[in-house]
A and B are shown apart, each in its own frame.
Chain A
Amino acid sequence: MEFLLENILNLIGFVVGLAIGVIAYIGYKNTGSATLFRLSIAFLSISVGFFVVWTGYMAEDFVLQKGQIERWVQTLGIGIQTVGYFFIAFSHSIKSFFPKSRYLRSIGIIPLFLVSAVHIEHIFRSISFILLVYGAIETILSYFEGKKKGTIFVAMGLSFLALGEFLGWYSFVFPESILYYVSISIKIAGLISLFIPVSKIPLTKIKFDPEI
């Protein structure tokens, strides 16, 4: 069951990240916008990160058969995803690694204390959580300015991914609980939510740059 859910999550993450990343890259090639370039790096990183973890699970399932994914593969994949989340936050003009707001800093520090003695993977997850929360808050604020329906879906997607990471920690604290499955399901919902507005972009109207 764990392997199945992980495979579904990582495959959806790979496909959604790739689709959004490619659209953003096409946008960058057609308009030269730095924002779209950052978005393409963000989502292509997220896609590669999910793909690395998925490859790890596949290798374990069909070749290694140790009963657990290689830790370094998982860490590498999550690290690459974190780079993607950083670029999403960076697109909202993040000025320093941690947000300036005292409140957000306090939120950010909690997970670092919780996972201080464990693997680098958990530190990456902590950083991802902070960046996702930051991205979600900024996107919600943008919704209040522009009132675009699509922005709500993206904000929900980022929030679900952050919540999924958060519940993922608790599943380490309470192993064998249902929290792990809830965490993965919420992340899948987050990825689908991210894709909904992007799927409505009318790309057929655009005459693409022949160099792409």
Chain B
Amino acid sequence: MAKTNLEAKLVSVYRPHMKIIGDILSTARDDLDSEEGATVTYLIRKANVSHVRISKILNNLVSQGLLEQVDSQGAFRYKISSNGREFLVAYQTFSRFAENFGLLI
């Protein structure tokens, strides 16, 4: 019983906003053919974020130039941009830096 509680606690660990952005960009970079881009549904499943929340984040990432929005047969798809790739490298490097201090960025 105690183990189950511990597992539940570990699964529900708080994930900062920056980590969610990192997960979305990683998914867009690593999991997909870069020509097609990812659907919102795919990103929701891979990044484990609600639809309402991911819509706001995707709009923000597109306006910041980190993701590119592609209109594909009436549905939007998202591709990582070159700025997004650079941001992701910086995010992963400084994430490791912060982890050394026991912190999440």
Contacts and interface: CB of A to CB of B under 8 A. Distances in A.
A205 interface: yes
Contacts of B91: 31
Nearest to B22: A31
B93 A35 contact: no
Contacts of B89: 205-207
A154 to B, nearest CB: 5
Contact of B94 (A27, A146, A155): A27
Sorted from nearest, which 9 A-B pairs have the closest CB atoms? A142-B102, A27-B94, A150-B100, A33-B105, A139-B102, A30-B90, A197-B100, A35-B105, A207-B86
Interface of A: 23-24, 27, 30-31, 33, 35-36, 39, 88, 91-92, 138-143, 146, 148, 150-151, 153-155, 197-198, 201-203, 205-207
A153 B94 contact: no
Contacts of B97: 23-24, 27, 36, 198, 201
24 contacts: A23-B97, A27-B94, A31-B18, A31-B94, A33-B18, A35-B103, A35-B105, A39-B98, A39-B101, A138-B102, A143-B102, A146-B99, A146-B102, A150-B100, A151-B101, A151-B102, A153-B100, A154-B102, A201-B93, A202-B93, A205-B89, A206-B89, A206-B93, A207-B86
A10 to B, nearest CB: 22
A157 to B, nearest CB: 10
Contacts of B100: 148, 150-151, 153-154, 197-198
B42 interface: no
Interface of B: 18, 86-87, 89-91, 93-94, 96-105
A33 B102 contact: no
Given A27-B97, A31-B18, A201-B97, A92 B90 contact: no
Contacts of A153: 100
Nearest to A146: B99
A92 B102 CA distance: 8
Contacts of A88: 101
Contact of A35 (B86, B87, B96, B98): B98
A150 B101 CA distance: 8
A192 to B, nearest CB: 14
Nearest to B93: A206
Contacts of A143: 102
A46 to B, nearest CB: 13
A201 B96 contact: yes
A23 B93 CA distance: 11
A166 to B, nearest CB: 21
A201 to B, nearest CB: 5
